[in-house]
Amino acid sequence: MGSIGHGENYILGRNLVESMRLDAQHFLFRLQNGYTIDPRIPIGPDTKIAEMGTGTGIWLLDVASQVPSTVQLHGFDISDEQFPHQSSLPTNMKLSIMDAFAEVPEKHRGKYDIVHMRLWCAIVQDGDPSALIRHATQLLKPGGYLQWEDVNSSPRHMVIRGAEVEALYSYFARIHKALGIELSWLADLPTHAKNAGLDVLQFKMKSWSQPCVPIATKTFLMVHNGFLDAAYRVGLPFLPPREEADNMLARALNAVKNGGAYRCTPLSLLAQKPLSS
């Protein structure tokens, strides 16, 4: 089986449903954290902000409504399939194609005061985010900030209640393993950031607040459709007929509606590139 962790084999797809999920998850993180840009990060009229894996551009679009129009906003992704048309973007926002696992082109190196990243948990393969973090570090100016939000769905960081959701989680753990998705690095994200030369200012990993639980659960279940599509696309040998897998997901959803629980744990990292090495 070939790698499907990033590049044009991005595992979760880029259709309308997946785009809507990403947009919903943006507002989920905003509700959880209470901000779009961490308030400890200074913003001035000449600030330059980049986002890696920008997807639909929703985070940058939200930022654009909160910062001076002179702030430069640049979103990067390996594919432009989810990009809004340039004519619908603010004049200070631009979206471009770039591979976040490759070296940063010289014209973008050391250019940005802030780099934002979100939801790379299903894209990093074999538990090694070093290339990804190196890319972010190359984008940053000395003194610039890395802001990262993600979710951890490894066993000790899950809330699971109900036989149907337990069965679903076990099934998808098998799919994750087959697709090379290993999540232990998320809890060690501060160490990975330090190894890349960044100063870690804060790392938080705690449960969703109560108002966030319903949408956190629904969007987490939505991700499973993307995983199923990927698993059947590459033909994992242990898969049952697709209808059986879809029914398993439907039973888990019904269990949640009737008092079950099925959610991961959010996390956030704020780090800074030193002014000098």
Instruction: State the DSSP string of 175-201.
Output: HHHHTT---GGGTTHHHHHHHTTPEEE
Cβ burial of 159 (10 Å; 0-12, 13-18, 19+) is middle
Structure tokens given for 89: 């973007």
Parse the chain into domains and list their residue ranges.
7-272
Q: What is the pLDDT of residue 46?
A: 97
d(CA 56, CA 39): 23
pLDDT digits (tens, 9 = 90+) for 80-129: 888 999 899 999 999 999 999 999 999 999 999 999 999 999 888 778 89
pLDDT band at 12 (very low <50, low <70, confident <90, very high): low
Q: For the domain 7-272, what is the CATH code?
A: 3.40.50.150
**pLDDT tens digit sequence for 30-87:** 999 999 999 999 999 999 999 999 999 999 999 999 999 999 999 999 988 889 998 9
Of 214, 201, 199, the closest CA to residue 268 belongs to: 201
